[in-house]
Amino acid sequence: MWQLHTFSLCPFSRKVRLALSEKGVGYELVREYPWDPSEGFFTLNPGGRVPVLRLDEKKLVLIDSQAICEYFEETVDRSPLILGTAAGRAEIRRLTAMFDEQFFADVTGPLMVEKMKKRLVLRQPPDSQALRLAMRLAHEHLDYIDWLTDTRRWLAGAQLSLADFAAAAQISVADYLGGIDWSGHEGAHSWYRVMKSRPSFRPLLTEKMEGIPPPRHYADVNA
Amino acid sequence: MWQLHTFSLCPFSRKVRLALSEKGVGYELVREYPWDPSEGFFTLNPGGRVPVLRLDEKKLVLIDSQAICEYFEETVDRSPLILGTAAGRAEIRRLTAMFDEQFFADVTGPLMVEKMKKRLVLRQPPDSQALRLAMRLAHEHLDYIDWLTDTRRWLAGAQLSLADFAAAAQISVADYLGGIDWSGHEGAHSWYRVMKSRPSFRPLLTEKMEGIPPPRHYADVNA
């Protein structure tokens, strides 16, 4: 069976979990903490980052969330997530990369440092200026999602795709950490409620990170 | 004809240029400066980043270096760069992402800030501590390339692949900026000499960034 090395609030691990679940691929979770990886984790991935997916029977180790998603796209026919014409697939990959890189750098990454790492590891108060900046940039990204959902059925076009899961994975972590304010973003909010209510999303919403309780609305699919 | 919005020392633009050239896809260069994008560039890419590739005849705009490379992998048969089994392709994508993200974050990105942006835009001297750190981390990445070239014909396996071009694109920018010291890295150095001598590499080596001369060895395929 596949083993997925992950930690609960890693948005890239969440993206992989959503894709695997949509495709009906079973896996076992192996918890890693980014600041305290298990023995042998660096042997598995010299880059030191989750998610890592392994299949010991085949001596297979897959690293990098996008490489993992592309692998299952190529090997599992069910629920294609990078689909359509070549231009359509390029649009899915553009948006996926935008959420993985820019949303993460602007919003999720800073929130994880200020509200998780500083609380659990560094034992420092969060920097309120950094938090304000992350929340301001979150509004800009939500504006863009408003625009996308206003002009398209799903983020990358007429079909649900990996772009939706990559975006929802980032947003779910930012929301857990109290960084998402939906006011003024009705389009983005409706889209996210639909994503949240998918069966693939449910296991993520019930998990808690020890020492960091999520806001009350976080797991409520109607909120 | 394809138009590629790029700037000379952008490693992601270089990766795309190498892939296009290997695949025999012609394009015209449109120069952008990251700190002073041309009028309309943000309309083209709200993310504001190069490379962007457009084909006006088909109203096609491709954004994100990996999405662009995957697009041509899917549409042009010549010189496959993401090739082999699904596991082999996952390894190519893992290494490509590692160079695009980790090498860039550790080495190329800091060098571009300290030796390019500070000189041309901020008019500040480089921070010598940041430069020392980037060069120390470059050695760690070169150690890993030594190990890869010691155990494999090319970085991701038996075949030349996108991983080699992604790595060489990052290294070529770092080398232009004086950040690469090959001592103790004979394996990585031999591999890079071979990459440098490919016809696809030549146009990159002859380009100069105004105000920043490259070191003498930079364009010498034997150095």
The DSSP secondary-structure symbol of B115 reads: I
Domain boundary among A55, A75, A95: A75
Is residue A107 located within the same domain as residue A170?
yes
Is residue A105 located within the same domain as residue A196?
yes
- Is A217 a member of any domain? no
Is residue A159 located within the same domain as residue A58?
no
pLDDT at B39: 75
pLDDT at A210: 87
Contact A67 B93 (CB under 8 A): yes
Report chain A's mean pLDDT, rounded to a whole number. 95
Short-list A50, A177, A46, A164, CA closest to A107: A177
CATH number at residue B128: 1.20.1050.10
Is residue A107 located within the same domain as residue A195?
yes
**What φ, ψ does residue B157 adopt, rounded to 5°?**
150, -145
Is residue A67 located within the same domain as residue A100?
no
Is residue A38 located within the same domain as residue A98?
no
What is the C-alpha separation between A95 and A214, in angstroms, rounded?
A: 27
Is residue B113 located within the same domain as residue B192?
yes
Residue A23 pLDDT > 90, yes or no? yes
Is residue B140 located within the same domain as residue B103?
yes
* Residue predicted with more confidence, A210 or A73: A73
What is the C-alpha separation between A116 and A112, in angstroms, rounded?
A: 5
What is the C-alpha separation between A192 and A145, in angstroms, rounded?
A: 10
Chain A with chain B: Cβ pairs closer than 8 A: 60
Short-list A172, A216, A145, A156, CA closest to A17: A172
Interface test with A, best of B45, B56, B63, B83 (most A CBs within 10 A): B63
Short-list A92, A204, A185, A205, CA closest to A138: A185
Residue B162 pLDDT > 90, yes or no? yes
Domain boundary among A22, A49, A75: A75
**pLDDT tens for each residue of B9-67:** 999 999 999 999 999 999 999 998 877 777 788 888 877 788 999 999 999 999 999 99
- Is B222 a member of any domain? no
Is residue B100 located within the same domain as residue B197?
yes
The two three-digit tokens of residue B80, written as one number = 């496959």
Is residue A16 located within the same domain as residue A97?
no
Is A98 in CB contact (< 8 Å) with chain B?
Answer: yes
**pLDDT tens for each residue of B94-132:** 999 999 999 999 999 999 999 999 999 999 999 999 999
Q: How many domains does chain A have?
A: 2
Contact B89 A70 (CB under 8 A): yes
- Is A109 a member of any domain? yes
Is residue B189 located within the same domain as residue B108?
yes
pLDDT at B194: 97
pLDDT at A176: 97
**Span A131-139, average pLDDT:** 97
Q: How confident is the model at residue B210 (pLDDT cuts 50, 70, 90)?
A: confident
**pLDDT tens for each residue of B188-205:** 999 999 999 999 999 999
Query: Whole domain around residue A186: which residue ranges?
Result: 86-206
**pLDDT tens for each residue of A154-210:** 999 999 999 999 999 999 999 999 999 999 999 999 999 999 999 999 999 999 988
Domain boundary among A75, A95, A127: A75
Is A63 in CB contact (< 8 Å) with chain B?
Answer: yes
Residue A88 pLDDT > 80, yes or no? yes
Q: Which of A64, A87, A144 sits opposite B93 (nearest CB)?
A: A64
Is residue B25 located within the same domain as residue B99?
no
With beta carbons under 8 A apart, name residues in chain A contacting B68: 90
CATH number at residue A13: 3.40.30.10
What is the C-alpha separation between A180 and B200, in angstroms, rounded?
A: 45
